[in-house]
Amino acid sequence: MEQDFKKQNLALFDLDNTLLAGDSDYNWSLFLIGEGLLDAKTHQQRNEQFYLDYKNGNLDIDQFLEFQLKPLSQHPKKFLDELHLKYMDQVIRPMMTHKAQNLVNKHKAAGDLCVVITATNSFVTKPIATAYGIEHLIGTDPEMLDGEYTGGVHGVPSFQEGKVTRINQWLAERGQQLSDFDTSYFYSDSHNDLPLMKLVTNPVAVDADTALKVYAEQQGWPRISLR
């Protein structure tokens, strides 16, 4: 006797300034400066400029990743993993909101396929996705050699149109494609995510930046706050 299984929906979540009330990438650099592992004079100004470029939509992703991933190559992975535990406790958990967790829980309870998709590197973001109870993460992947980070990038950065490439690749590896889902959600705060937001059936602007807010209003997309 055949059973009529409910068709699964897809729920995609941006991380920084969406599920998190802050930016994990930007704050990771500040954390490393605070730990004495990066020179404040040389890194703080560049970190601020890259963050401004991201918000303005003109970030050079290759230059940024060279800046952001180099510190990973300067320390053993074991040390970095231990450091990240401290980063989670001191910096990230205070950024995790009840509203964001409730949203994730709602989609999980509905049986939706939940994925965090973020431009921030997967070393920084995988433990954060896990803390929200989300198994699947698509982030920019740092290159590794013999179990240690090289400072390079593996594959396509998960940024702007790269998020479209990466979700399509990830789904293809599962034998799926976006069109298989009758209902697909993407929650984001940033106009940088418009390429992917335009492809899902249910784009949702979350605490949106000015450019995304204007576009969402024009398109009649829902706008919510998780703060």
Q: Which residues are catalytic?
A: 14, 16
Contacts of 22 (CB under 8 A, 6+ apart): 16, 95
Question: Could you tell me if 19 and 124 are in contact, meaning their C-beta atoms sit under 8 angstroms apart?
Answer: no
10 Å CB burial of residue 213 (0-12, 13-18, 19+) is middle
Mode of pairing for the β-strands spanning 10-13 and 184-188: parallel
Structure tokens that stand for 178 in this block:
């976006």
Among residues 32, 18, 44, the alpha carbon closest in space to that of 187 is found at 18
**Helix residue ranges, H only, 35-158:** 40-56, 61-69, 77-87, 98-109, 122-131
Q: Are 70 and 76 in contact (CB under 8 A)?
A: no
